[in-house]
Amino acid sequence: MSAYDTSIFKQPLPDIIKKIILACLAAIMIGIGIGLNTGANFGNDPISVFFDGLSKLLGTDIGTASNIANYTLFVVVLIFGRRYINIGTFIYTLPLGNFINMGVSIYEFLKIDNNVVLRILCVVLACILLFFGIGIFIAIDIGVDPWTGCALILKDNTNKQYKVFRVGIDMSALIVGFLLGGKVGVTTIATAILGGPIIQFMSEFINNYIFRLFKIKIKIDK
């Protein structure tokens, strides 16, 4: 059975602290982004459509549903691909549902109601938070989320590329979520088309500028 990913502990302590802080910030941004998109009701990214559908099936809020899904997949990664588990995996997985509910609460506090312009602005802000948060997680490289971990496990046991399983998982989550009653809309299409390129750009921006600004070492000897 594979060992855990302990690469982060080979780095200087100041870098470890900075990356943990960035990972926490990223998790907050991702959760609030999902929550704001949920409140705006223009749809959500494919994985969050599954969270939404699961919440309707179980009769819970979307944060609780996301926790159930993420914790379940975390156990799968723990059993079959624990080398992909690092401290960032816990930072992402454990509190995400609470941050999603925080985003929903923020939307409700703003009392946007049916103002279409404000809802659109809210979606734009939500997507920026979501994409930038994911970009941070990719850049700091201290563990993957459970969904990515499952895709990597499938890649390891086949001759196919990671992106094949990543797309397959996203599409499966979208279809199942939709069938369960998850909201699909303009935001779903926008995140599917624009998410990849924007996240890649933000990840590179963080590597090239943010890490240099805070003097964080990028490469890790694994």
Q: Residue 77 has what pLDDT?
A: 94
Whether 68 has a pLDDT exceeding 90, the answer reads: yes
More confident residue, 102 or 215: 102
CA–CA gap between residue 142 and residue 10 (Å, rounded) = 11
Find out whether 70 and 198 touch, Cβ atoms under 8 Å.
Answer: no
Q: Residue 37 has what pLDDT?
A: 95
Give me the residue label for tokens 């590597």.
207
More confident residue, 75 or 138: 75
Whether 204 has a pLDDT exceeding 90, the answer reads: no
Listed residue (126, 125, 133) closest to 26, CA to CA: 133
Whether 219 has a pLDDT exceeding 70, the answer reads: no
Q: Is 163 exposed, middle or buried (0-12, 13-18, 19+ CB in 10 A)?
A: exposed
Q: Residue 120 has what pLDDT?
A: 94
Look at the alpha carbons of 105, 106, 111, 117 in this order and tell me if their dihedral is positive or negative.
Answer: negative
pLDDT tens for 169-188 read 999 999 999 999 999 999 99
Q: What is the mean pLDDT of the chain?
A: 90
Whether 137 has a pLDDT exceeding 80, the answer reads: yes
pLDDT tens for 75-128 read 999 999 988 999 999 999 999 999 999 999 999 999 987 889 999 999 999 999
Could you tell me what percent of the chain has a pLDDT over 90? 63
More confident residue, 216 or 200: 200
Q: Residue 222 has what pLDDT?
A: 45
Angle between helices 13-40 and 96-110 (to 10 degrees): 50
Q: Residue 221 has what pLDDT?
A: 47
